[in-house]
């Protein structure tokens, strides 16, 4: 593994006014952590919410300079390292859009064109091996961040947990203003990632509050990896309100999520399901109309109940009397 380790410790990190860019080592640490937690078991590293969250958590933990986090950059540029230990798999017929400086344009450009990264066989086998994985992890921490003891990088609360706490407990007054300020403070090319990150954390908070079940039907379904198939729905769209507080959310199965977003269902002030007259339910006894006038499933904690203001705004938007 000596040559592989040497390549990892001599990454081509772009120069910045704060020193060498830390993006590549942070992403590699996020990948290593994903192997440790069983989130990656195959040689297929997709651009997914969990990896994005780990990248930002580790960035806030390790990077002490004013460099700006950007997940897309290292995911794209690691393909240029020696020995080709990181290779991109693109969608058939797609080309990755790049800037004049040969860098990837945006997070959207990455997700629209790249399926995943595949590691070299040597790198993949090394990360599957707990001993070799630990050696690589410690070497990266020491080389790029001057950390010789892993205890130095285990804080009580990670960045994603801080955001989750804000989503759960911050008062509604001025909440949107605070989120707008946080998003506007980062460069435009990073805002998209930050919004995706907040959406990921919002979903986890909503599913936790609603016990992974649809608040209308009670449906609770998971895949083989225990990932819930229920969605987190904004009552008023985040793009319009910048409100991802827990009180602007509901847990809904995909069908009810789409129906809610299109105004085919709404929720009353006493938390009962309203069905719009324009909905054509061809089997009402087993379809959406079977839930009409039924109370939705609420959190056991009243602090997390959906905002009556948001529910009224939603009803007004779609013409409910």
Domain extents for the chain?
A: 2-153, 163-317
- CA–CA separation, 227 and 245 (whole Å): 22
Of 47-61, 135-149, 220-234, give the lowest mean pLDDT range. 220-234
Can you give the pLDDT at residue 303? 96
Using alpha carbons, select from 242, 134, 122 the residue that is nearest to residue 184.
242
Per-residue pLDDT, averaged over 287-292, amounts to 96
Helices within 70-169 (DSSP H only): 72-77, 107-113, 121-128, 130-145, 159-169
Can you give the pLDDT at residue 97? 93
- CA–CA separation, 211 and 218 (whole Å): 10
- Give residue 147's region: left, alpha or beta (phi > 0; psi -120 to 50): beta
Per-residue pLDDT, averaged over 26-52, amounts to 97
Per-residue pLDDT, averaged over 98-115, amounts to 93
Sign of CA dihedral 43, 231, 75, 95: positive
Using alpha carbons, select from 244, 258, 248, 254 the residue that is nearest to residue 194.
244
Q: Are 231 and 214 in contact (CB under 8 A)?
A: no
99 against 295, higher pLDDT: 295
What confidence tier does 173 reach under pLDDT thresholds 50, 70, 90?
Answer: confident
Per-residue pLDDT, averaged over 202-217, amounts to 97
Can you give the pLDDT at residue 284? 86
Helix axis angle, 130-145 to 23-36, nearest 10°: 150
Instruction: Output the average pLDDT for the chain.
Output: 94
Percent of the chain with pLDDT over 90: 87
What confidence tier does 33 reach under pLDDT thresholds 50, 70, 90?
Answer: very high
Can you give the pLDDT at residue 101? 87
pLDDT, tens digit (0-9, with 9 covering 90-100), for 120-167: 999 999 999 999 999 999 999 999 999 987 766 666 689 999 999 999
Per-residue pLDDT, averaged over 228-244, amounts to 96
Within 10 Å of residue 3's Cβ, how many Cβ atoms?
10
Answer whether residue 44 shows pLDDT above 70. yes
Q: What is the pTM of this model?
A: 0.92
Can you give the pLDDT at residue 152? 64
Per-residue pLDDT, averaged over 240-265, amounts to 97
Can you give the pLDDT at residue 224? 74
């Amino acid at each position: 593994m000596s040559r592989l380790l040497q390549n990892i410790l001599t990454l081509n990190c772009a120069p910045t006014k704060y020193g060498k860019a830390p993006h590549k080592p942070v992403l590699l640490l996020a990948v290593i952590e994903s192997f440790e937690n069983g989130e990656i078991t195959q040689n297929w590293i997709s651009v997914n919410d969990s990896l994005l969250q780990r990248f930002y958590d580790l960035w806030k933990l390790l990077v002490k300079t004013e460099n700006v986090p950007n997940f897309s950059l290292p995911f794209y540029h690691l393909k240029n390292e020696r020995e080709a230990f990181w290779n991109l798999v693109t969608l058939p017929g797609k080309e990755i859009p790049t800037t004049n400086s040969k860098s990837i344009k945006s997070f959207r450009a990455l997700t629209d064109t790249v399926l995943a990264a595949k590691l070299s066989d040597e790198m993949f086998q090394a990360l599957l091996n707990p001993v070799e994985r630990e050696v690589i992890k410690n070497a990266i921490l020491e080389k790029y961040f001057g950390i010789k003891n892993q205890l130095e990088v285990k804080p009580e609360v990670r960045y994603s947990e801080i955001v989750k706490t804000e989503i759960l407990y911050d008062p509604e007054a001025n909440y949107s203003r605070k989120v707008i300020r946080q998003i506007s403070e980062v460069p435009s090319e990073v805002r998209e990632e930050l919004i995706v990150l907040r959406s990921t954390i919002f979903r986890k908070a909503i599913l936790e509050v609603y016990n992974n079940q649809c608040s209308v039907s009670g449906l609770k379904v998971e895949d083989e990896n225990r990932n819930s198939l229920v969605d987190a729905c904004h009552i008023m769209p985040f793009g319009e309100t910048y409100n991802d507080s827990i009180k602007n959310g509901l847990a809904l199965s995909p069908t009810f999520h789409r129906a809610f977003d299109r105004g085919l269902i709404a929720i009353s002030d006493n938390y009962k399901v309203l069905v719009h007259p324009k909905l054509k339910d061809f089997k009402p006894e087993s379809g959406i109309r079977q839930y009409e006038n039924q109370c939705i499933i609420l959190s056991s904690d009243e602090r997390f109940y959906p905002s009556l203001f948001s529910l009224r705004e939603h009803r007004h938007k779609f013409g409910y009397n």
